[in-house]
Amino acid sequence: MELTLERIEALSQRYDAAGALAGVVDGPFLTGERSCEYVVPSSGRGKWVITGHPGPLACSCPDYRTRQHLHGGHCKHVLAVMLVTRAVAEVSGKVAQEYAKDPELERKIAELF
């Protein structure tokens, strides 16, 4: 996909909007054995559903379907979910590393299993 000024501007706007939406992402909701979905408010009164996690994310919003030539399928709703899932993974990893350093906690966990 060619990197044009129009595409750069579209992506920049998407990232700004996604950052604002990241705090209102709802989910994940399990929808199957290995899949889940997220719900993100629309700019109006509705909500959009983001599906496909894990794996390629898809959004039910019109922008996701009609403007893929500008943003490669990453509408602001999909980007918001990506920001949230990345942040959760980073925090979870840091917390796990900190707890792994605590021998008392390790002993208690070992006793449970």
pLDDT tens digits along 20-47:
888 888 877 777 666 788 888 887 788 9
What's the rounded mean pLDDT across residues 58-87?
80
**Taking the model in full, what pTM does it have?**
0.66
Q: Which amino acid is at 78?
A: V
Q: Which residue is listed with tokens 């501007």?
A: 9
Terminal Cα-to-Cα distance of the chain (whole angstroms): 51
Tokens encoding 20: 């604002």
